[in-house]
Amino acid sequence: MSKPTESARRRRTQAERSALSDRKLTEAAMHLMVRYGIQGTTVHAVGEKAGYSRGLATHRFGSKAGLFAKVLQVASVDWLERVQAAVGSRVGAEALCAATDAADRFFRERPDEVRAMYLLWFLSIDPSADYKSNLANVHNAQRRDASQWIRAGQDAGVVDPSLDPDRVAEQYVASMAGIAYQWLANPAMPISLMFRQLKDDLGVRLGRGIAAPGKVSGKPPGRTAGKAAPPVRAAAARSGATARRYR
């Protein structure tokens, strides 16, 4: 029998054990929220689902509201990191199309996480809700990012200079939210085709001959081609700080 390796013999540190239990608890919470809803998800059930004692989730998060805040933080950071990695230094239509591709992948790869995130966002509209995220801040941040990408595209000469970046950003964020809402209500909706159509529309709307990658004919979304322009937000690389805007 082979001897265990040094790494296998090494015991996890307290910080590593805490991080592992946090991840299992948030994953369990997302699963229960999607299956039983906000009201049907209890802190004790989350602890049991994660394979721990009933009291661990209460000890770790304090309350149901604390648990939901953690779930939304994890989902928001994941989403932001995906967008930042996809957009990089792109601007204009290329940046918006890259962010749209990131959303498409997020929805397909992490559907429970997406549903849990939107459940918590929608919950903030209910005046009687115990836990409320600041959904207005989320939308403000999304519109601000989109507007900055469009302005940078205008500066680079790849976006129609007559367009109002703020108005285009508002319509883009509203379109993304509408697509997400339709998919949440009916998972059979062809969400990838809807995102591709949005990208095609962006290419036409922003002008200057920018073609969106991945046509509606069925071509899968690919890496956006073109010369990259300077980054429009240096702070975007720090997802931890940026994530606060999305809670």
Output the pTM of the full model: 0.75
pLDDT in tens, 130-177: 787 878 888 899 999 999 999 999 999 999 999 999 999 999 999 999
**Helix boundaries (H) for the chain:** 6-9, 14-36, 43-49, 54-61, 64-87, 92-109, 111-123, 135-155, 165-185, 191-206, 239-242
Sole residue written with tokens 């809807």: 194
End-to-end CA distance of the chain: 51
All domains of the chain, ordered by start, with CATH?
10-62 (1.10.10), 74-246 (1.10.357)
Compute the distance between CA of residue 247 and CA of residue 243 in angstroms, rounded to an integer. Answer: 7
* pLDDT recorded at residue 195: 97
Show the low-confidence residues of the chain (pLDDT under 50). 8, 209-247
